[in-house]
Chains A and B, each alone.
Chain A
Amino acid sequence: MPATDFRAILRILSRHGAQFVVVGGVGAVLHGAPIHTFDLDIVHQRTGANIEAILAALRDLNARYRLQPERNLHPDTEHLLSPGHHLLITDHGPVDLLGSIAPGYGYDDLLPKSVTLSIEDGLDVQILGLSAIIESKEAAGSDKDRAVLPVLRRTLDELPPK
């Protein structure tokens, strides 16, 4: 039976020095929103060096595209240079590798809106700020994204002031 191991995915990415920002549901959970999600969404820095680091991590994760799994397709440099979304399944669960979450919202745009959270010793990750996660879901406008907005907004209200 497949199992998700978000920590393992983050550890492997970190071990390879990959630069990325956690967004989406896991990001919201890390901020304290009691919502549910099955996949890890990350926005990666689209530089040559970082894409090589990401690809090395994806090889360790045995990452392949979720669509048409029978073809066992793996992302390559050209894929990850694009701003598009790469929906992957790994040995530790599903990962969505996003070149951007919207036009003009790539890694360099999101990093100033992110915070560093310590998951465990030796594992610090960049998480998109909860305000920005809310903005991204408002911009996405899908029923799925709108459904969690009340909880995210209320969680933001409950966070202690910085």
Chain B
Amino acid sequence: MSAMADQRLITSEPGRDRQEADSSGVDITLIRWFLSLTPAQRLDYLQNHNDAILAIRARNARH
């Protein structure tokens, strides 16, 4: 990895990657990553995400 890339990672600041979002604030890098998955993988990701959220909610409901 180049020194410039290293520096970018170390000093990354909010909004630095704004060019990767369109005018609506949509993160195109996230879309492209999700498109790299198969439909089955996308479904499993959504399901795992739901399970994680529900587990966190249930855990905190007891407090």
**What is A's interface to B at a CB cutoff of 8 Å?**
1-7, 26, 29-30, 32-34, 36-38, 93, 117-120, 150-151, 154-155, 158-159
The reply to whether A120 and B40 contact each other, CB–CB distance below 8 Å, is yes
In the complex, whether B42 has a CB less than 8 A from a CB of chain A is yes
Residues of B near A93 (CB, < 8 A) are 50
A contacts with B: majority SS? mixed
Nearest chain B CB to A7 CB, angstrom units: 6
- B contacts with A: majority SS: helix
Answer whether A4 and B50 are a contact pair too, CB < 8 Å, given A151-B26, A154-B31, A158-B28. yes
Cβ distance A114 to chain B, nearest Cβ, rounded Å: 14
Q: With A1-B55, A2-B54, A155-B31 in contact, do A32 and B46 touch (Cβ < 8 Å)?
A: no
Q: Is B5 an interface residue (CB 8 A)?
A: no
- B43 contacts A159, C-beta separation under 8 Å: no
How many Å lie between the Cα of A7 and that of B51 in the bound state? 14
Q: Say yes or no: B54 contacts A154, CB within 8 Å.
A: no
With the chains together, A33 CA to B42 CA distance in Å? 9
Closest 8 CB pairs of A and B: A150-B24, A34-B34, A32-B35, A154-B26, A4-B50, A30-B39, A117-B39, A34-B30
Q: How many angstroms from the CA of A1 to the CA of B54 in the assembled complex?
A: 8
Q: Is the CB of B24 within 8 A of A34?
A: no
For residue B16, CB closer than 8 A to chain A, the reply is no
For A26, list chain B residues within 8 Å (CB): 43, 46
In the bound complex, how far is the Cα of B39 from the Cα of A119, in angstroms? 6
